[in-house]
Structure 1
Amino acid sequence: MNKFLKIFPLIILIFFSCESPKFRDSKIYELTNSNLKIALNSQNILFSYRNKDNESLFKELIDEELYFSDLKSQNDTLLGERFSVEKNNSYIELKDNTNSFAKIKYETDKITFELNTKSIYGLGERYGNLNLLDYYGTYKIINDHKYGDRAIMSIPVIYTDNGLCIYFASPYKTKMIFEEKDGIAYVSYYNFDKGFDIYIIKENSTLEAVKKYYELVGKPPLPPKWLFGYIQSKYGYYSQQETLDIAKKFVALDLPATGIVLDLYWFKYMGDIDWAQKTFPDPKNFIKELNTLGFELINISEPFFDRYSKNHKIFKDFGFFGKKDNSYMQLSSWWGTGGIFDYTNEQANKLLWNNSYKKLIEIGVGGLWTDLGEPEGVPENTIFKLGKEDDIHNLYNYYWSKMLYTNFTNDFPLKRPVILSRSGFSTSPRFGVSVWSGDSNASFSGLEIQPALMISSSLSGFSFWASDVGGFVGDSTPKLYTKWSEFGLFSPIYRPHGGKVDREPWVFGEDTLKNVTKLLKLRAKFQPYIYSNAYLTSNYGIPFIKPVMFTDSNIALEIKQEIENNSYFFGESILYRQSYNNYNYSVYLPISGEWVEMQSFKSYIGNVLHKINFIDGNPPYFLKPNGVFIENSKASYKEFDTMEIYINNRSEGVGSFLYYDDDGISTNYKNGSYDLLEIKNSFENGKIIIEINPIKTDFNKNKLPNLEFNIFIPQTIGNIVTTDEFDTKNSIYKFKMKYPENQKRFTLDLKK
């Protein structure tokens, strides 16, 4: 059995194509009274409707090659080991054993899925609620950007609440329509004029389906550790001295940070991709000094090359810009007048990499910020090497990211690339792409849309995500900046940004600085937890951010929608609910048992709606029953000698967590240089059992952190225990140990 089949216990692939597809070890079946052709093996089904000349685009949309073999055909039914595909008069029915899980109707302009579900998630960054069935409507599958609102990065993958994933793998701009009638959801996809592939994954849970989707399109490589710290940004810093002064002030105020961003002002003309010598006269030593202060540097670039830029003439002469009627297409916009680079041309890419990007990495630039890559404002009739802009629009930024990642990893194999982008497509994450949500409005309405954008992006393959903390367009306020900073704390990437306005923590007054300082220190303490969860995403395809699934059907629909669009799991163990301009909000804890709020150590019952008071700068966050949360005992990105471990055993059950660490910057982890510690807990029949298993200690053998355990136990027991090992006020059992060389097991008998 090939690698792909081992990964996917049930995946159905549907192609619609103009030609009969050719697949290794496959037999093509033609359904009675149908012009659709179908091929399948025991785990995959394929229909075909594909133009002959677009295979180069389609091959970019999955990360695995699929193989098909013969299967039994009986009348109008194809029989598999777990499922069958049955042709009826007006639809195709998909069954898992004998249970129908989808019906497919096809017409001249669309294909419609009939699904028995109350919730549909996914579709990347787009408008609407997290649940696409909350408001029926039409969604464009397109990369777009709405200034002062959001980026539109529609990823054509959806999930139901019963473990079904449907991935519409096509690079073309199109639309999808979502409707619901009599408890049945209808999802229509329009693209018969150009063709598409459809992959259907059926699992026991939505999370398992998401993991299989990550496998299909390619999991993101593990970024360097500093990306998950705090990254300061604005539009923009005008000189190397100003940038250094900002970094030095962070150090002076004891504000933990790991990165800083240069927006447009580091170059003279767009397309230079080189330093403005008057304001950045010594970039190599400038970067070295930033590194000494604890900061990595991220530089912005765009796909447009102003006619006065250093690179414009040579690339124009080579014909490496977009064309109109086989000649250079000149564009004019706010950035100037010039051309758009053709990232679908490999020869052009190599020259650009060697002339510009490679030189930045050689002197120490830590990350590349790719902006305007939808591409923004480019005519649909622009011709690139792989086709018209109208055809490759959604993949344009993907090819840009692919160029950067491929050349970076070839030329700097020991370094990890960082690519922060405003757009992308389904397979972009496999090239190390992190995204942010676009030029958001500096208002509470601008903040309120961010959680749903983040959750949907994570389900759609983009786990490493950021927003412009404080808002990009317009002036922020102390209250808004604080609340958005709280959201930044509980985002995979924490990065403030603003358009020609300051976004440093000290610009909104002493009270705001005090509040945000607490958040920045928490972020530094959280790094072991955040980095361990990034490892789970990179290695296992577990989305970093996960939605709240409701088990209590008695909660009113309006409350469900409010909570679902503002609450999420931050990593494996923590639930967070974003707050805004008020101080009291409903919080739903979706798992039965006792949850622990980690600021106060108070307990809250699960599967219940709670009213919680929110204090600025002190956001509550909740540790799930039997969950494990880890943090650095110090608010530092440089010092890590003791790891605090919190385990919630206030309810019976089992739980586990994987602590992961490596050098945080090189690719040595790929050769086994990392530490991996499994922490397991169980609470049954009055006994709490903690197991600590050092799976691997090949990175930091001589400097492994000490472990300090904090076990939340039932309060009725904790209140009557008086030994020094107990915090009787908070009902916490504490003990310390050195990082173990071998597996350790501890038993706490609460009956004694």
Structure 2
Amino acid sequence: MIRNSFVQLSAGLPLMVLALALAPAAAAATAERTFESMVAASGQLDIRTSDGRYVIKPYSAAILETTFIPAGEGYDPASHAVVLAPAAVKATAQDKGDRIEYATSGIAATITKSPFRISYTYKGKPLVAEKRGFLKVRDDVATGSKDINKGEARELDAIEFALDADEALYGAGARAVGMNRRGNRFTLYNKADYGYGATSKQLNYGMPIAMSSKLYALHFDNAQTGYLDFDSKKDNTLTWETIGGRKTYQVVAGDTWQDVVGNYTSLTGKQPLPPRWAFGNFAMRFGYHTEAEARKTVHQFALDDIPLDAIVMDLYWFGKDVKGTMGNLAWDKDNFPNPTGMIADFQKQGVQTVVISEPFIVNTSSRWQEAVDKKILGTGPDGKPLSYDFFFGHTGLIDIFGAPGRDWLWDIYKGLRQQGVKGVWGDLGEPELHPTAMRHATGSADEVHNIYGHQWARLVAEGYQKDFPTERPFILMRAGYSGTQRYGIIPWSGDVDRSWGGLQSQPEIALQMGMQGAGYMHSDLGGFANPVEDDELYARWLQYGVFQPVFRPHAQEEVPSEPVYRNAATKALARQAIRLRYALLPYNYTLGFENNQRGLPLMRPMVYEEPGNPKAQSMSSTYLWGKDFLVTPVMTKGAQTADVYFPATSAWFDFYTGERHAGGTTKTVALKADHIPVYVRAGAFIPMTAVVQTTRDYSTRRIALHYYHDAAATAGSGQLYDDDGATAQAYEHGKYELLRFASVFKGRTLSLSVASELGKQQARQPRAFDVSVHNVANRPAAVKVDGKAAAFGWDAQARLLTVTLPANAAAARSVVVTL
């Protein structure tokens, strides 16, 4: 949340930008690297060279880590990203004279002795190779990063790789530059871009990871600031550069894109399943000034019959003004006289309360002197708190890398949770203004900048594990690092402009971040920045939001972000979108479970469906929501038609009309004002449920189960995951039920089955199914439910068969249709 006037202040920051000049000696240094010796022992391969040492070790048969330790430096084993312990993977090392082959059953490294080079394969398929490997480079003295003591361009460590001419590249965190990011050079420095539109090269959440259409990822395991160059010079080179620290990277491979993200999130950690209310609708704006205003808003959602699960308080909860109060982090009792009563009243309505916090404490805050006395602030070189001018006041920054700062901030969050607050909103956590001169408990500002949000999310997650171990935290933050998903971060894409350009950048950002493990990346629905009232844009953004991970309208208050304060026609469209979001809760919550178990993103790019299709490799205008929905957001004002590409892997059915579209085709479809184009895969099961006002009242005791029949879909599958929506690690503790759906079509017989798996601590409850089988052209000859003839309905015009499975607690159910 950057305010307009801050943009002017940021221009002079000593941040690293994009120019680079290679040191003249760099090429010569790498050309002179020679192989000296090899030792394979203790689960790793040690290679000695003329200028240092390489350590190569497997984490699994799909993950290999390489570290270069230059002569004169020691080995730094610390990683902020990796949590997977190296497995006891059988790896063989063979010296074949001119080369050494170090191989697992899947991934392998070949070390060529002269000229020295390391290349990687997976199951015999070439992946990537170092080009010149480790080298030293320098930033441009005029525009690049500088040594703050000497004013000279900094020397950077770099690792260089060779690319194939035709491979597409993804990664580097949150950016909006086109789905295939090859040809760009990215700054690895988390930085807000206030009011960005269709493009943004640098945003709040960067990650040092490159992913390739050849089905591998290169993760550079070092959080210090630097650059990631995706072949910007068009010479088939990928280069990672850093100001210092370990020279470690992991090569992650897989047979499919799903394998690659699954292996990467095994390496860096899986996302916990959020509380179920996080899948509902949020009331949010900048911001609610008073308790009365917040109460009125929650009440209005109920009056307008629009579902609601949370209300989010911006910074007015602790201060009457934007400036001068940041860091108070206590209720302003003048405007919020009874916060605990308000929160309790909201909870009675099934609405949770989330409050904002920032890592800055201004010197006019009621807590400033406390912060100074308790030594919780980042310091200058003199060891004293470093304070500086900021849009919100003259400020210090909480040092969350030290125990005093962490403990102080967690005590505040703990107190808020005891008041009933259910969610932490951490804003400005890049941090937004972070002087290079600042020192933290574990390093300089530029050394720890990119993991500030990572450590902040960790602080909250570990605090909950310690003090509220049975609860799932809700952690809304816009800055993080590789692996932050394991702490439960719900990231959003920053202060996007309220414009069509702002909407156009959002699918790419969310899809890319899901590929990189951050499965809940989402946008401020409707756009945040600038007082633009465009009802068509608002409706289209919310219709897209139904099929993004978190449904959360948010904006500056001049134009309301809440649908209850829009005109009647716009409110009606918003209500329809929100109610569809709630109807899809069984499907959407199951996507959260799949993300938790397998690392699969909720939003999936077309390249997941057709990895070898160049068109799919660069597409973000159409994407997959889970496995079975195909979604094309409407992102152009006044558009009457949209071009939709239907993947060749399946036939696809219009979610609203049932019209069938053959796969492998592109069609121009007519647009409707009340929804965006959405299609369902042939052979898919879509579980839905009755709309509720709040997820507190959600139930799977009666499921509307839609199956999309097609003659070409001889087998289909799906699932529904259910638990209490609140207990931490419910699945691991056996407090769950998992329904598996399957279909078989043979001859004239279509068989549908439901099988129930129960956790050890779960009792099976009676459940009814209202089954709808789509695309049934003729009235069936017979329908059996659980082996007995059953009554059914058939709509010839809609080509729809309907049959009910009465409620019972059987572990297996079936429908057999004779066509």
Task: Describe the SS at the equivalent of 1:611.
Answer: strand
The structure-2 alpha-carbon separation of the partners of 1:704 and 1:495, relative to structure 1 and needing over 3 Å to count, comes to farther
The change in CA–CA distance for 1:552 and 1:22 in structure 2 (over 3 A counts) is closer
SS in 2 for 1:154: coil
Shift of 1:377: 1.3
Whether the 8 Å CA contact 2:611–2:617 is kept in 1: the answer is no
Query: What SS class does the counterpart of residue 48 from structure 1 fall into?
Result: strand
Aligned to 1:79: 102
Residue of structure 1 aligned with 2:135, choices 87, 108, 111: 108
SS of 1:506's partner is helix
Once residues 741 and 668 of structure 1 are traced to their aligned partners in structure 2, the CA distance between those partners, rounded to angstroms, is: 26
Q: 1:247 to 1:198 in 2, by over 3 A?
A: same
After the TM superposition, which of the residue ranges 457-466 and 363-372 deviates more from structure 2?
Answer: 457-466
Matching residue of 2:218: 166
Amino acid at match of 1:625: A
- In structure 2, relative to structure 1, the CA distance for the partners of 1:99 and 1:699 (3 Å cut) is closer
| 1:165-564 mapped onto 2 (5 Å cutoff) | 165-179=217-231, 186-191=237-242, 193-268=244-319, 269-325=325-381, 326-354=383-411, 356-474=412-530, 475-501=532-558, 502-549=560-607, 564=619
Report what 1:8 is aligned to.
Answer: none
In the alignment, is residue 746 of structure 1 matched against residue 794 of structure 2?
no
Q: Name 1:40's counterpart in structure 2.
A: 57
**Secondary structure of 1:485's aligned partner:** helix
| 1:551 Cα deviation after fit | 8.0
> Which residue of 1 is the match for residue 755 of structure 2?
693
Q: Find out whether 1:122 has 2:171 as its counterpart.
A: yes
Q: 1:215: Cα distance to partner? A: 1.0
C-alpha spacing 1:22/1:281, structure 2 compared with 1 (3 Å): farther
Give the SS at the match of 1:626: coil
In structure 1, the residue matched to 2:798 is 730
Counterpart residue identity of residue 194, structure 2: Y
2:80 partner SS: helix
Kept after mapping to 1: 8 A contact 2:129/2:162: yes
Tell me the equivalent position of 1:157. 209
Residue 600 of structure 2 aligns to a residue in which SS?
A: coil
Contact persistence 2:610–2:616 (CA under 8 A): no
* 2:372 aligned counterpart, secondary structure: helix
Structure 2: which amino acid aligns with 1:310? S
Distance in structure 2 (CA, Å) of the matches to 1:337 and 1:34: 48
Answer yes or no: is the 8 Å Cα contact 1:477–1:508 preserved in 2: no
Residue type at the aligned position of 1:645: L
Deviations 1:131-184 (A, max 9, x none): 113xx12111221101111633111223222321221111011112223999x9
1:381-404 CA-to-partner distances (Å, cap 9, x unmatched) read: 100000100100001111111111
Residue 649 (structure 2) pairs with residue 592 (structure 1): yes
Report if the CA contact (8 A) 1:157-1:168 is conserved.
yes
Change (3 A) 1:503 1:54: farther
TM-score w.r.t. structure 2 length? 0.83
C-alpha separation in 2, matches of 1:404 and 1:22: 43
RMSD over equivalenced CA pairs, Å: 2.9
Match of 1:661 in 2: 722
Q: Distance in 2 between matches of 1:97 and 1:293?
A: 55
Matched, 1:610 2:610: no
Is residue 174–residue 204 contact of structure 2 (8 Å, CA) maintained in 1? yes
Contact residue 82 and residue 269 of structure 2 kept, 8 A: yes
Any idea what SS the aligned residue of 1:77 has? strand
The residue identity in structure 1 corresponding to 2:248 is: D
Question: 1:248 is matched by which residue type in structure 2?
Answer: H
**C-alpha distance in 2, partners of 1:699/1:589?**
43
CA spacing shift, 1:140–1:192, aligned 2, 3 Å: closer
In the comparison of the two structures, how many residue pairs are matched?
723
Whether the 8 Å contact between 1:718 and 1:732 is mirrored in structure 2 is no
CA distance in 2 between partners of 1:181 and 1:318 (Å): 50
1:566 aligns with 2:659: no
Contact (CA 8 Å) 1:552, 1:607: kept in 2 or not?
A: no
1:608 deviates by: 0.8
- SS state at 2:135 partner: coil
Greater CA drift, 475-484 or 691-700: 691-700
Report the 3-state secondary structure (helix = DSSP H, G, I; strand = E; otherwise coil) of the residue aligned with 2:69.
coil
Task: Summarize the alignment of residues 15-26 of structure 1 with structure 2, pairs less than 5 Å apart.
Answer: 25-26=42-43
AA aligned opposite 1:391:
E
Sort the Cα spacing of 1:698 and 1:632 in 2 relative to 1 into closer, same or farther, 3 A: farther
Q: How far apart, in 1, do the equivalents of 2:451 and 2:175 lie?
A: 17
Aligned mates of 2:86, 2:534 — CA distance in 1? 53
Alignment correspondent of 1:646 = 706
How many Å apart are 1:255 and its aligned residue?
Answer: 0.5
Following the alignment from structure 1 to structure 2, what is the Cα–Cα distance between the partners of residues 73 and 554? 33
Deviations 1:7-50 (A, max 9, x none): xxxxxxxxx9xxx9999824543266664423335843533237
CA–CA distance in structure 1, aligned partners of residues 271 and 65 of structure 2: 27
Say whether the 8 Å CA contact 2:213–2:617 is kept in structure 1.
Answer: no
After TM superposition, give the deviation of residue 703 of structure 1 in Å: 5.0
SS in 2 for 1:38: strand
Q: 1:624-643 counterparts in 2 under 5 A?
A: 624-636=681-693, 637=695, 638-640=697-699, 641-643=701-703
The code of the aligned residue for 2:119 comes to: E
Encode CA deviations 1:652-676: one digit per residue, 9 max, x unaligned. Answer: 2322222111111223714211111
CA distance in 2, matches of 1:153, 1:653: 43
2:122 to 96, 107, 116: 96
> In structure 2, the residue corresponding to 1:248 is in which secondary structure?
helix
- 1:671 is paired with a residue whose SS is coil
TM-score, normalising length from structure 1? 0.90
CA contact (8 A) 1:595 1:603 kept: yes
Which residue of the partner structure matches residue 773 of structure 2? Answer: 711
SS of aligned partner of 2:195: coil
Query: Which of residues 161, 179, 195 is equivalent to 1:148?
Result: 195
Deviation at 1:122, TM superposition (A): 2.3
Task: Verify the 8 A CA contact 1:159 1:206 in the aligned structure 2.
Answer: no
Once residues 73 and 84 of structure 1 are traced to their aligned partners in structure 2, the CA distance between those partners, rounded to angstroms, is 11
- SS of residue matched to 2:311: strand
Q: Secondary structure at the match of 1:646?
A: strand
Distance across 2 between alignment mates of 1:390 and 1:697: 46
Alpha carbons of structure 1 residues 78 and 639: separation in structure 2 relative to 1, 3 Å: closer
- What CA distance in whole angstroms lies between the structure 2 residues aligned with 1:22 and 1:428? 35
Offset of 1:721 from its aligned partner? 9.7
SS at match of 1:689: strand
Contact 1:649 1:713 in 2 (8 A): yes
Residues 98, 448 of structure 1: alpha-carbon distance in 2 compared, 3 angstrom cutoff:
closer
1:277–1:512 Cα change, 3 Å: same
Partners in 2 of 1:168 and 1:236 — Cα distance? 39
Return closer, same or farther for 1:698/1:589 CA change in 2, 3 Å cut-off.
farther
Change in Cα spacing, 1:27 to 1:225, as seen in structure 2 (3 Å) is closer
Which moved further from structure 2: 26-35 or 440-449?
A: 26-35
- Of 564-573 and 38-47, deviating more is 38-47
Kept in 2, the 8 Å contact 1:597–1:622? The answer is: yes
Q: Deviation of residue 508 (structure 1)?
A: 3.1
* Separation in structure 2 between the aligned mates of residue 749 and residue 32 of structure 1, nearest angstrom: 71
Counterpart Cα distance in 2 of 1:262 and 1:21: 59
Distance 1:27 1:410, change over 3 A: closer
CA distance in structure 1 between the partners assigned to 2:781 and 2:427 by the alignment: 60
